[in-house]
Structure 1
Amino acid sequence: MTMNGQPGVRYSGVAMLLHWAIAIAVIVNWRLAEAAHEGPREAGASLMATHKALGMTILALTLLRLAWRLVHKTPPLSARLKGWERMLARVTHVTFYVLLIALPLGGWIASSLNGRPVDFFGLFAIPVLPTGLDKDLGKTIFEAHHTGGSIMIYLIALHVIGALKHTFWDKDGNLWRMLPFGTPRA
């Protein structure tokens, strides 16, 4: 049973917590990267260090979310969704997971290719991967990482637009499946 007494309509509390923690972390991390590139060099280095540490946190939370998802069944998509909505939902979620894993790994690989470990919020250093030094390849991967980050932001916008559509246009209660309040519908 879910919080509203209906079986399988709402995500579990752990899934909700991980969803919102990852969502907030991704948006904060995007803003950190933007600020690092826009501001003075010294401030940018500090912001980028935080960006990298938060990226590794996002990777860990995503792996935890995937493990949770493998063990705990997710609620089925609403029977009210049209075929194209079902397909778009599936493609969007798969793409989210790919990016949530690939972006931090790409950043870690690129940092490793530059011989730089990831400082994890001053607590410890995540060591470089055994990639050897190749600054040109590192630069190429950082550029792909930036492009992937832009795709992530567009995907978030699509996700938010979809949630708003379901809430205010369709009025189907779909948004409430990922919140501990409101009335989700099957």
Structure 2
Amino acid sequence: MDRYTKPAVLLHWLIALLIISAFGLGLTMVNIPGLTPTKLKYFSWHKWIGVTVLALACLRLLWRLTHKAPAYPAHMPGWQQAAAHWLHIGLYVLMFAIPVSGYFYSLSAGVPVVYLGIVPLPVLMAPNPELKPLLKDVHYVLNMTLLAAFALHVLAALKHQFIDRDHLFRRMMP
């Protein structure tokens, strides 16, 4: 069975771990009442993870565009192949859209993003209190969409591993 390349596997799992971390951190930080040093630290870490995911997603997309993915197994029904294809496209879109929406949400709140506390990202918009709630909602909805897509992706992988037993899961294993 064809496998994904080692860089593709590394980027897949690294981005997955970072997204899970950012998601958990995001849920934790928004539930801390007030504006505490811990909450501010978590917001910074959340943003840093988001910027890292965006950078790695760019690398992953470049890799994917220059390295063909392994073909689906011949026995896999066409509708499943199409569903997998569109789910992967959706996941790629979300890997870009979520960090970008968070970045603009932060800027709309008048809070610049300084990567790792060292590298200031460009300020592409002035603070905008009217736009801030919309960007917050967009960031939230995109994250909930990612959660659903992630769950579907994991369930499909588990189905192939334990029900179909077609070893499709091995293609992306380290």
Please classify the TM superposition score into its range, dividing by the shorter chain length. Answer: over 0.9
Question: Deviations 1:130-179 (Å, cap 9, x if unpaired)?
Answer: x2231221221111101110111111111111011000000000000001
Structure 2 runs not aligned, ≥5 long: none
1:112 aligns with 107
Q: 2:57 corresponds to which letter in structure 1?
A: T
Q: 1:132 corresponds to which letter in structure 2?
A: A
Pick the aligned partner of 1:30 from 15, 23, 28. 23
**What is the RMSD of the two structures over their aligned residues, measured on CA atoms?**
1.3
Q: CA deviation at 1:51?
A: 0.6
Q: 1:11 corresponds to which letter in structure 2?
A: Y
State the SS of the aligned residue for 1:136. Answer: coil
Aligned partners of 2:130, 2:146: CA distance in 1, in Å? 24
Instruction: Tell me the matched-pair count.
Output: 172
Pick the aligned partner of 2:149 from 149, 152, 155. 155
Q: 2:66 corresponds to which letter in structure 1?
A: V
State the structure with bigger RCO (CA 8 A, min sep 6), 1 or 2: 2
Q: 2:60 corresponds to which letter in structure 1?
A: R
TM-score after normalising by structure 1: 0.88
State the SS of the aligned residue for 2:131. Answer: helix
1:66 aligns with 61
Pick the aligned partner of 2:91 from 96, 101, 107. 96
1:183 aligns with none
Q: CA deviation at 1:24?
A: 0.4
Give the direction of change, closer, same or farther, for the CA distance of 1:37–1:125 in structure 2 (3 Å limit).
same
Aligned partners of 1:162, 1:56: CA distance in 2, in Å? 28
Q: How does 1:1-186 map to 2 (within 5 A)?
A: 9-40=2-33, 41-42=35-36, 43-129=38-124, 131-180=125-174
Aligned partners of 2:133, 2:44: CA distance in 1, in Å? 17
Q: What is the percentage of aligned positions where both structures have the same residue?
A: 37
